[in-house]
A and B are shown apart, each in its own frame.
Chain A
Amino acid sequence: MDRIYLDNNATTIVDPQVREAMDPFYCQMYGNPNSLHSFGIEVRPHLHRAMEQLYTGIGAGDDDDIIVNSCATEGNNTVITGMYFSLLKDTRKKRVVTTQLEHPCIREACRFLERQGVKVTYLAPDRQGMITAQMVKEAISDKTALVSVMWANNETGIVLPIKEIAQVCKEAGVYCHTDAVQAIGKVPVNLQEVPVDYLTFSAHKFHGPKGVGGLFVRKGAMLPPLLHGGEQMGGHRAGTVDVAGLVGMGKAMEIAVDSLEFENTEVRRLRDKLEDALLQIDDVMSVGQRSLRTPNTLYVSVRGVEGEAFIWDLNQNGIAASTGSACASESLEASPILMAIGADKELAHTGVRLSLSRFTTEQEIDRTIEVIKHAVVRLRQMSTAY
């Protein structure tokens, strides 16, 4: 049985072209780029090229920084804790504004700030799962140091109006950070047009390798390093650069940006096809308006079918998806994001996320539709709730 991977918001297959680009840096050009000798020197042009690909990919200016690190979780922690040490700790700026939609690495880093006496506002989304610039504007006060709002949500795929939010922050003189992990390669990300100060991403979400990511810092925005002890990344992030990882991330970024049109047409078409087919089944609903979502993401609730049982059946048929159901989490807690959207109780137990990629094929979608139809019949037969 050929397996079908529809969990691309969790991680993605490494594009074979990316792996090919990375390969020479393991056994041939393995020098430390900081070394003076030829082994170090020969690596450096490739790093420059990768940086060029990253800068071009997100529209960063030459005077801005993209600090290469291990992942968006590291980048997000660097921004949140860095903001504490550079601003929140010793000045009269004592507030941070974020949202209830954020990834746990933002949420928990903000909890850490709260323990240090910082006041954090967690904005609740509206029923559509949306955070508006107006909501952010109203939450900002003269004591606010930082606003952190994700570009696109991992569970629902909903794309937030980050340009307007960043403009609101700029007008108010407040630093603005966005976690763009779910945006790169799915929607255009151009920092010439979106005036955020900090932006974070992870390569493995756009067909690059795991364990490498980036943190964009706009010129003039302050940020103390999280990792001390070396001159790498201009002293902003100590530690020998993952050479192959950076080369792979650069290549992955280049392809991702080149593929945006394909993502927006072909991936979207397959996602819509899947969504249309599932909505044909009685008592199935999807979360969030299609036009507001990343083209690859679909979050559905099948009434009477518990989420873990649902993805269990998919997995038995070789299809990978994920669920926000309380029963499938380590803590047995329902997805905070779905709770934040104000979804009814049942949705918190039935929600299943299907996320496609540019590697998803039409045949895969056709088979997925068939498998889901069967799974829904089987599980509803068993269910007391249907």
Chain B
Amino acid sequence: MAKNDLIGGSLWEQYSEKVSERMNNPRHFGELTEDDAKAMNGRLIIANEGAESCGDTVRLFWIVGNDDEVIKAAKFKSFGCGTAIASTDMMAEMCIGKTVEEATKITNLDVERALRDTEDQAAVPPQKMHCSVMAYEVIKQATAIYRNVDVATLQEKDIVCECARVSLQMVEDAIRINNLTTIEEITAYTKAGAFCKSCIEPGGHEKRSIYLVDILARVRAEMERAENPEGVAEDDFAAFSIVKQIKLIEAALDQYVRPALAGDGGGLELDDVRLADDGLIYVHIKYQGSCKGCAGSTAGTRSFVQKSLQGTVSDKLRVVVE
């Protein structure tokens, strides 16, 4: 919080002129037909993309030249907000004249950059960056249809943050090279989590397969073990008797977790420790005091407890709240 944040910004105030202009007068909305394709000596491609959680859908039409794989015409339709319409319009424009191969390389970041009025002023506020992701995904979809391949083969692997297009590898490298310890630092270094924030931890706008909090916990644990081989190694931990395991977990809870929770008037007790078939060890906990019944407990506190246990005992531990 600071001077510029206290009076919150209006979403629309933060749209660039280009975004407003394209929202008012999109240049490429409409449809293309088989007749159009014939007239242009090309092939008609129609791709649909929709992010259910956002309620936005987009349909992209391409006519791809039969001889040269060049996109001769592009149009779109969209059920979406201003940002979705403006970014899809810009994306369609950027496709025209490019080969399919070239168009496939366009990302939502390129689209956002093209919508800027000036070099260093973002075209849309951070949380609306999310709305441009679909413009990127629909290109992949169109290419997959054109080449008759599964769209998954075209998608970048292990993207953690869709808005800023940050991969798992980029996040891990940033943590290791710069010795990062917080989510804020990861965001500062990689931009992951800077926009719609869904990728930070469970419970955000969109459900993700992997979250920054878990990546950070795992990489930190790996780094600490590398620095301190004397500590408890994960294989050792799994081999310990259940009594020893409980003692180690209790000790870690006492040292790292309970003091932090007590600061907020809360606490927790260890309820059970169970070894699952997948080799993971599930630590069942119950909240006490102010943690109990707190809506934030499920996501925030659980991830804090898990992170602490993974970092100090074993990264095979998973925390379950009773």
Contacts and interface: CB of A to CB of B under 8 A. Distances in A.
B279 interface: no
B289 interface: yes
Contacts of B55: 306, 325-327, 334, 345-346, 348-349
Contacts of B24: 316
Contacts of B26: 382
B82 A384 contact: no
Interface in A284-341: 304-309, 312, 315-316, 325-328, 330-334
B127 A115 contact: no
Nearest to A386: B79
Contacts of B290: 115-117
B292 A117 contact: yes
Contact of A384 (B78, B196, B295): B78
B205 A327 contact: no
B220 interface: no
Interface stretch (B56-64, B103-111, B239-247): B56-64
A325 B78 contact: no
A384 B59 CA distance: 7
Nearest to A348: B55
B81 A328 contact: yes
Interface string A338-367: 000000011011000000000000000000
Interface centre among B80, B81, B295 (most CB of A within 10 A): B81
Interface of B: 8, 11-12, 23-24, 26, 29, 48, 50, 52, 54-59, 77-85, 127-128, 130-131, 196, 205, 264-265, 289-290, 292-296
Given A382-B78, A383-B77, 19 more contacts: A114-B295, A304-B79, A306-B55, A306-B56, A306-B79, A306-B80, A309-B81, A312-B12, A327-B56, A327-B80, A327-B81, A327-B84, A328-B81, A331-B205, A332-B127, A382-B29, A383-B79, A384-B77, A384-B79
Interface in A96-116: 111, 114-116
Nearest to A315: B12
Nearest to B196: A332
Contacts of B82: 308-309, 312
A306 B81 contact: yes
A330 B77 contact: no
Nearest to B60: A384
A331 B189 CA distance: 23
A6 to B, nearest CB: 17
A384 B48 contact: yes
A265 interface: no
26 contacts: A114-B295, A115-B264, A115-B290, A115-B293, A304-B79, A305-B79, A306-B55, A306-B80, A306-B81, A309-B85, A312-B81, A316-B24, A325-B55, A325-B81, A326-B54, A330-B127, A348-B55, A381-B29, A382-B26, A382-B29, A382-B77, A383-B79, A384-B50, A384-B59, A385-B79, A386-B79
Contacts of B78: 382-384
A119 interface: yes
B292 to A, nearest CB: 7
Contacts of B84: 306, 327
Contact of B131 (A116, A327, A331, A345): A327
A332 B54 contact: yes
A277 B62 CA distance: 39
Contacts of A309: 23, 80-82, 85
B11 A333 contact: no
Nearest to A381: B29
A332 B130 contact: yes
Most chain A CB within a 10 A radius of its CB, from B8, B57, B264: B57
Contacts of A348: 55
A332 B55 CA distance: 11
Nearest to B297: A115
Nearest to B294: A115
A4 B194 CA distance: 36
Nearest to B59: A384
B57 A385 contact: yes
A321 B127 CA distance: 22
A351 B55 CA distance: 12
A237 B280 CA distance: 56
Contacts of B52: 345
A117 B293 contact: yes
B26 to A, nearest CB: 7
A325 B83 CA distance: 14
B205 A332 contact: yes
A55 to B, nearest CB: 35
Task: In the A-B complex, list the 10 residue pairs whose CB atoms are closest, starting with the nearest.
Answer: A349-B55, A385-B79, A327-B81, A308-B81, A384-B77, A332-B205, A383-B79, A384-B59, A115-B294, A384-B57
Nearest to A383: B79
Contacts of A330: 8, 11, 127
A333 B56 CA distance: 13
